[in-house]
Amino acid sequence: MSRSLSIAAIASVIALVAAPAAFAGQPDSLGADWRRQQGEARAKVKAGSVMPLERVVAEIRRRQPGRLLDAGLETDPDGRTVYRVRWAAADGRRVDFRVDATSGAVLSGR
């Protein structure tokens, strides 16, 4: 290995190791606090106040063949916790579902 190649390899390793520290506390493309939101969602599932996302996805898949693109918990204007699920239907359409996170009832999407 040449000296310049080994220096480049070392610099790459340092960059990979330092990257998480450099971005700690910084907003990312998913939003400023998506890690906190994930933790809150896990805590709500564990406490039994919302159903697991896997059950919501299984119900959507039963109704509309396709695959999950994105999902997250949100609060409706009336205070209800809902899953917002972006779905790629088998026919190529994108469908945005809203599902009551407590009951699992599909509120919108088709």
Model pLDDT, residue 61: 94
What domain range includes position 35? 29-108
Q: Is residue 51 part of a domain?
A: yes
CATH code, domain carrying 41 = 3.10.450.40
Q: Answer for the pair 51, 60: CB distance below 8 angstroms, yes or no.
A: no
Please count the structural domains in the chain.
1
Q: Is residue 76 part of a domain?
A: yes
Grouped pLDDT means (10 residues each) for the chain, 110 residues:
54 52 50 72 86 93 94 89 94 94 89
Model pLDDT, residue 107: 92
Distance, CA of 80 to CA of 70 (rounded, Å): 20
Model pLDDT, residue 7: 60
Q: Is residue 21 part of a domain?
A: no
Q: Is residue 86 part of a domain?
A: yes
Q: Is residue 94 part of a domain?
A: yes
Q: Is residue 49 part of a domain?
A: yes
